Amino acid sequence: MSEYATAITLREVSASYGRQEVLRGITAAVPEARVTAIVGPNGAGKSSLLNVIAGVLPTTSGTLTTSGSGRPAYVTQHSEVSGTLPITVRAAVTMGRWAHRRPWHRLTRQDREVVEECLARLDITAIAGRRLGTLSGGQRQRALVAQGLAQQSDLLLLDEPSAGLDLQAQARIEDALDEARREGVTVLRVTHDLTAAGRADHCLLLGAGALVAEGTPSTVLTPERVATAWGVPQVR
């Protein structure tokens, strides 16, 4: 990882929800303009770590530093967005431009061009006039990823962006993330899917709120380390 600049540095970071500690002494470095997968079993602290980096969850100890020039773009899971919101796909993606314009202020021509580009990148231009609540899970997730890209942040955070989606939706999202990386965006994605994690440039493997291993997928996702993260006893 030394050949890449560091986008995010965590030193002994811990965090809690009330009295429940969810992260314990995380020390790691996220490379700039690469795709980093945060991987581990349910309850490992993956989403909590993403929330700390996003500034949603405060740390209880340790330090977090970033090299980015602005706020990160945070893409949640499609299941966390109400299907009753009376907005269209295009309106949802346009909301991503609020990072550059105050809400309800007139968009510029450049803003509209960015929105259309992001719709096309996720192949949802044809459904841009439909309401979010009428979409399939895959279509809605692509709209949320397009909204994140529309923010044009140099740090893109995604919580299980491909979980439970059909292969077409997964492929579109993976292609969009690869393109963002090529454009210099640092991508940090949460996943419990070892196959998806294996396609990343860098991995943070968590288990029970602690960092089990960090590095390239080939060095991190070994049977021994995965067993440790999942709490599976190893046969000797």
Q: Is 103 exposed, middle or buried (0-12, 13-18, 19+ CB in 10 A)?
A: exposed
Q: What is the pLDDT of residues 36-92, one digit of tens each?
A: 999 999 999 999 999 999 999 999 999 999 987 678 999 988 766 666 678 999 999
Q: How many CB atoms lie within 10 A of CB 33?
A: 17
Residue with tokens 């803003």: 111
Across the chain, mean pLDDT equals 92
Residues 187, 31: Cα–Cα separation, whole Å? 9
- Give the whole-number percent of the chain exceeding pLDDT 70: 93
Q: Identify which has the larger pLDDT, 187 or 69.
A: 187
**pLDDT value at residue 234:** 58
- Looking at the chain, the domain(s) classified CATH 3.40.50.300 span 1-72+154-165+182-193+200-236
- What residue spans of 44-193 are helical by DSSP H? 46-54, 89-94, 109-121, 137-150, 167-182
Q: Which range has the worst mean pLDDT, 38-47, 75-84, 153-162, 203-212?
A: 75-84
**pLDDT value at residue 105:** 73
**pLDDT value at residue 1:** 43
| CA distance between the termini of the chain | 32
Mean pLDDT across the stretch 155-177? 92
Q: What is the pLDDT of residues 96-124, one digit of tens each?
A: 998 777 666 788 999 999 999 999 999 99
Could you give the 3-state DSSP secondary structure of residue 30? strand
CATH architecture group of domain 1-72+154-165+182-193+200-236: 3-Layer(aba) Sandwich (3.40)
**pLDDT value at residue 70:** 75
**pLDDT value at residue 102:** 65
Residues 215, 209: Cα–Cα separation, whole Å? 18
166 pLDDT more than 60: yes
Residues 233, 215: Cα–Cα separation, whole Å? 23
Please state the pTM of the whole predicted model.
0.92
